Every structure is written in structure tokens, then in C-alpha cells.
Structure 1
Amino acid sequence: MSTSTRILAQGDGFVLPEILRTALEEQGVEATIATSSNSWPLTPMVDVDGVREANGDPAELIANLQGAQVLFTHTAPVTAAVMDACPDLKMVVICRGGPVNADLAAATERGIVVCNTPGRNANATTEHSLAMILGAARQLAQRDAELKAGEWRSDYYRYEVVSPELFGSTVGLVGYGAIGRRVAQVMSVIGAHVLVYDPFLNEELPEGIERVEELDDLLRRSDVLTIHARATAENQGLIGAEQIALMPKGSVLVNCARPSLLDYDALCDALDSGHLYAAACDVLPAEPLPAHHRLLRTPNITVTPHLAGASKSAAWIAARLGAADIAAFLNGERPTHVVNPEVYDRAG
């Protein structure tokens, strides 16, 4: 490492530039570290020149990147044009699980190493998912709103409408990655019988957690269904009207994964008909959700604005994972979280 190495720590309002700098300093990185920031989350992420969910002006990024060998960022638009305009760039570290704001093919073609920070918000999203499961089952947001509006609804103590308990219930998980396994563990401790459907699972499950081979089987048995799968082109609309119809009457559905996995009209239909008791979603079919959207008019659903992964710890975890890979790279070692290993393989 050398102070002649230049790093741009491009932060935003969540992963602050100061956090990126501090994480690099903790790793003992000896380099000239410049910092800058974009306006996310106060302005939304957009698609820019072939990259997704990015924020910031590419021209401004290019200006700040001149002479830099490493870009350390969260949401900056790392397009092919940006890379072409920054010939010294050798490494890009994206502080996200999916580095969608970097043109991976263009980086690989140009020999630029790209790293991500998988699992950075696993704990935060797990906690939010658990809160959504409990909040939906107990209808906390709805009772709070009614009470603040002057309604005292003692009629909710009627047997026909009281909430289910998680203790002794069956909780089905679609997806058993970093978040799913944490949710499964807590649900098991609570006393639920936990089912897991994950076609990519190739490990033994802990005692008390049952693997289910067919999604339909899991749906038929789940009093609570919680989605934790990674979105792919193959699983769009994974949970639609047919799948929801298989769930027991009075069950609960929670989605804190990706909106493409769930048919939201089918969800609303099932809530309107009473087939589902309740639902909760942190990921939505449009973000921001339009004021007239059906989800805002459907009873017994709790929605939050895609912030399950937001926590102070998540920002620091991402920065520290990324900084460790930068330190390895600058020391001539292969970083842990390379997402385009072809760059190394091609180099021999």
C-alpha cells in the first residue's frame, strides 16, 4: 500500500462518507482518501445508463474519480461511461448485497475488480421481518391507529376475530439464506413449527426446522408465510392467487424480500375476501407507493417504505466488509467478496 494510491469514498445519507473513511482507517489502509456524497435517500434511486438503483450525477462522479484507483461507494452510478472516463480505476466496492448500480460486464471487460458486501443488512432485515410478522399477526398498527382516532374496540376480543398465536403455529419460510435462517431460528425459539422451502438448499437443518420439497406443500401447511428468497427472472410472481389460495383460511403473509416475488393484487383480493387474516410488506410494487394505490385501502395490511435493511449497524457492517476487501486488494491479495472473478481468472 502507498499514499500514492487514491481512493474515492463516495457515500450518501445512509452509508456516510465518514463511515467509509473510518472503516478504511481501521484497516490500516495507507492511501489518499477523498470523500464525496450524493443525496440518497432524500432523492430516489433511478436506473442510469444500464445500471439500476443508483443515485448521483455520473459527470460529477467522473470528476471526483480522476486519478483514483479505487471507488468505495454505496449507490453511485458506476456505468461503462464512468469507467471509460476514469482510466486509473482498478477496483469498485459496492456496499450492498447486490451490486446492481455497477455495470458488471463493463467492469469485467475492462479488468476492474468489483466487490460487494453480502449479509451487510441481514440482522436488520431479520429484526424488521420479525416485527412485521408479530405486528401483522397482532394487528398492532391498525389497533394503534384506531385508538388514536378515538375508537376503543373491545369487540376485537370476540373469538371469531382475535389474533392467532405464533406459539404452536406453523411458520413457512420461502428462502433460507442469511435472513431466512435467522428468522427460522427465532420462530423456532418462540415455539412455532418452522417449515423451509428453498430449492437451492443443500445442508442439514437444525432440529425443529423442517425442509419441505414442494412449495405447494409448504403453503398448505403455513399459518404464517414469510418470504426471504432472492429475486430472479425465474421466480417472478412466485406467490400469486393460486398459491395464496392454498394457504389456510385466516393465515398471515409477510414479504420483506423483493416485490417481484408477490402478486399484490392477489394479496389484496385475499385480504378483502377474508381468506388471509393479515399481511405485512416492506417491499412494494411501486416505490414510492402512489397515494391512490390499492395497498393503502386494503384492510389488515401493514406496509413500511422499504427500510427493513436500515440500521446504523448495517451501514458500519457494509463499510467494514468493503474496507477489508480494499485492504486485501491493495496488499496484492484476492478480496473475499469478488463478484467478477473472471478478472482474476483471466489474469492467470
Structure 2
Amino acid sequence: MTVRVLAAGDHFVLNRLLVAALRREAPTGLEVAELTLPWPVEPFGRVGEVQEASDVEDALIGALRGVEVCVTQMAPLTKRVLAAAEDLRLFCVTRGGPVNANLAAATEAGVAVTFAPGRNAVATAEHTVALLLAATRRIPQTHADLASGVWRGDYYRYDNVGPELAGSTVGLVGSGAIGSRVAAILRGFGAEVLVHDPYAGLAEHVELPELLARSRFLSLHARATPETAGMIGAAELSALPRGAVVVNSARGSLLDYDALCDALDSGHLFGAALDVFPEEPIPPGSRLLRTPNLVMTPHLAGGSKQTAANAARIAAEEVGRYLRGEPLLHLANPELRQLR
């Protein structure tokens, strides 16, 4: 029996990667159609009742007619889409979490939703350390000066240079797939790594107040939950030693950005580096655009060719399990564990 699949890729997780991974997993028995979504050329946003999706409900509804399986990164699985997709049974999201899928509505409609944990762990860990180094060594600022024809020797003044990683203490908030890789890289630099993660049961775990008091560098890797929202605010930043560096490549909701700007403006923090923000894109007039000693990248820490390939592979493996009637490995709505 032929199973109809929609590969709804974009300009990062390309359709050719999705299709190739599906063909490797199931060389026969698939009829694959393609729909190309506009991300990241067009930013994601709220679509209907879901977050971080491409605004393509109408196109998706048309493409899902008669389709049993959809593999995508940014397509919105909303109530409206589910109501129109009568044949859909499996929706594979090629991201670390299915934030673009209405899980309750999908469960009610009998549609299993999977995701791709760890797809970007290596890329994000590497980018995190790059941000940490860039903020500490003032790399973007010095490059901009040189590119504009200005040679500033004052960067070498004692008060303007940052600490070395070797021999410094780095505090990590969260120790999942990304945080644990960051820890391994930093230990290679000779840093002492402390971890605050009450759910991991690690020997290095310390309570947050101790971690803040001891850490010259602070890097955030916790999940975005109601409990972690705003967990690093003015009080936590002031608890860091003067001259500390803060990095956030996890989620914008973890950090109070006004408090961060205050700490940078006052000189309490030596620097900070951000890949995620409370509002994306950053709105014009944001304090972040005029705060000193701040390095920013536009939510691209997970962007590597390997991440895109991993995402396609993980999703295709779930499709293979579905076709063979095996339990799905990364099922977001486990109420639908038995599908075929």
C-alpha cells in the first residue's frame, strides 16, 4: 500500500534533505509531495493558536489533501488545519520541540506528533562558546573599529580586557544535550564548570545562589517553562561577581533583558552575548540596540548543515517506525502511541 507524505521543508531544512532521508528509510511505498515554506527568509510567528510557525495555513490545507504523513519544521498544525486534513495521521516536526503544533487538538483528531530532540545540540553548543569568547575578547567591537579605519589601543588597557576561560568558573543553568556539550568544551579550555539543574541528578549540581556567587561566566541552557520564566533577573545578575559575562542561547524567556541592560550600563557586567530575545525580530528602539558591550546574533545558534541533516534523519526514522507499526521514539502526545 502506498502512503502519501508531504515534505513541507523550508530554506534551512530543505525538501531535498527530507525527501532523501525518507527514501533512505523507506525506499518503496511512499508517494512524496513537496511544499516549500518561506522561513527563514520570512520570520516565523504566531499562526492561529500555535507559536513559531510559518503563516501558510491555506497552502498547507491544500497540500494535505489525501496526505497521511507530514514532515516539516515550520508548518502550523492548528485546529483549522486539522479540521481540513482528514487523512493525516502523523505530523513529524523536525525541531527540538513541536511548538508549531496544537497537541491537544492533534490528539483529539488522532494525529500523532513527533519532534527531533538533540538535532542542533552540537551546533548550539559551539555557537554558545563562540558567543562567550566574542563577548569576553570584544571581537565584534574591535572588528567594527578596524573595518571603519580606527585602531584603538585602549582596548589593551587593564580595565578593558576580560578574563581567560582557563582557570575561571563557568556556571551553566541547565545540563541537557546542549549544556552538557558546552561543559565538555569549556573543560577543554581549562575552566571549572558548575551546573544548576535540579532535574539532572549530576554530581556537579549546585544551587543557583552558589552558582551565581562563584561564576565569572554564566550560560543559560534551561528549557522555557512557566517555572523558568524570568529566572535570571536583577537580583540574580547582581549576585554575579563584578566583571562577569552572561550568555543566553537558549530561550528569551529565561532572562530579564531590561535588568541585563541595566547591569551592562552600570558596568557590573563586563559583557553579554545573546542569540535569543523576548521579541523576534528585535523591535526598533529596543534598549538592546544601544546597550554597550553586548554581542548579538539573530537566533541562529543551531544553524549548521549537520543540524538540517540531523533534523531530516530523525523525522524520517519516525516515519519508518510508523510504516513498520513500531512505537514512535519521540512522541509528543503519547496518548496516541499505537497508530497502525
Instruction: Give the structure 1 partner of residue 304 of structure 2.
Output: 311
Q: TM-score, normalised by structure 1?
A: 0.95
Measured on the aligned residues, the alpha-carbon RMSD in Å equals 1.4
Residue 253 in structure 1 maps to residue 252 in structure 2: no
Give the Å deviation of 1:46. 1.7
Q: Which letter does structure 2 place at the counterpart of 1:149?
A: S
Give per-residue Cα distances to partners, 1:118-138, cap 9 Å, x unaligned.
111111111110100111111
After TM superposition, where is structure 1 displaced by more than 2 Å over at least 4 residues in a row?
none
Per the alignment, residue 5 of structure 1 pairs with: 3
Q: What's the CA shift string for 1:291-313, capped at 9, x where partnerless? A: 32111111111011111111111
Distance 1:139 1:277 in 2: 10
Aligned residue runs from structure 1 range 245-324, under 5 A: 245-324=238-317
Aligned to 1:182: 181
Residue of structure 2 equivalent to 1:242: 235
The residue that corresponds to 1:61 in the other structure is: 60
Q: What do residues 257-283 of structure 1 show as CA deviations (whole Å, max 9, x unaligned)?
A: 101100111111111111000100000
Provide the C-alpha distance between the structure 1 equivalents of 2:175 and 2:76, rounded to a whole number of angstroms: 30
Q: Please give the alpha-carbon distance, in whole angstroms, between the structure 2 residues aligned to 1:62 and 1:156.
A: 56
Residues in 2 aligned to 1:116 and 1:250: alpha-carbon distance in whole angstroms: 39
CA distance in 1, matches of 2:267, 2:108: 53
Tell me if structure 1 keeps the 8 A contact 2:60–2:75. Answer: yes
Amino acid at match of 1:325: E
* Per-residue CA distance 1:21-62 (angstroms, 9 max, x = gap): 000011124210111111111111121121111103212111
Give the secondary-structure state (helix, strand or coil) at the position aligned to 2:186. Answer: helix
Q: Which residue of 2 is the match for residue 87 of structure 1?
A: 86
Q: Which runs of 5+ in 2 are unaligned?
A: none
Residue 156 of structure 1 aligns to a residue whose secondary structure is helix
Distance 2:93 2:24 in 1: 18
CA distance in 2, matches of 1:253, 1:312: 27
Unaligned runs of 5+ in 1: none
Q: Secondary structure at the match of 1:105?
A: helix
Q: 1 CA distance for matches of 2:173 and 2:114?
A: 27
Q: Distance in 2 between matches of 1:325 and 1:309?
A: 21
1:1-348 matches, within 5 Å, as: 2=1, 4-29=2-27, 30-202=29-201, 204-205=202-203, 210-212=204-206, 214-344=207-337
Q: TM-score, normalised by structure 2?
A: 0.97
Partner amino acid for 1:93? C
**How many Å separate the matches in 2 of 1:20 and 1:100?**
20
Provide the rounded CA distance (Å) in 2 between the counterparts of 1:229 and 1:304.
19
What letter matches 1:262 in structure 2? L
Q: CA deviation at 1:166?
A: 0.5
**2:34 & 2:10 partners in 1: Cα distance?**
10
* Structure 1 residue matching 2:160: 3-state secondary structure: coil
Per the alignment, in what secondary structure is the counterpart of residue 268 of structure 1? Answer: helix
**Greater mean deviation of Cα atoms: 286-295 or 319-328:** 286-295
Distance 1:21 1:309 in 2: 21
Q: Tell me the distance in 2 between the aligned counterparts of 1:46 and 1:253.
A: 27
Letter in 2 for 1:125: T
SS in 2 for 1:67: coil
Q: CA deviation at 1:249?
A: 0.4
- How many Å apart are 1:159 and its aligned residue? 1.9
Q: Bigger shift: 81-90 or 247-256?
A: 81-90
| C-alpha separation in 1, matches of 2:131 and 2:253 | 19
Deviation string, structure 1 residues 161-207 (Cα, Å, up to 9, x no partner) = 222100000000000000000000111111001000011112x44xx
Per the TM alignment, residue 155 of structure 1 is displaced from its structure 2 partner at its CA by 1.9
The alignment-based identity, stated in percent, is 52
Q: Is the 8 A contact 2:198 2:205 kept in 1?
A: no
Deviations 1:92-127 (A, max 9, x none): 100011101111111111221111001111111111
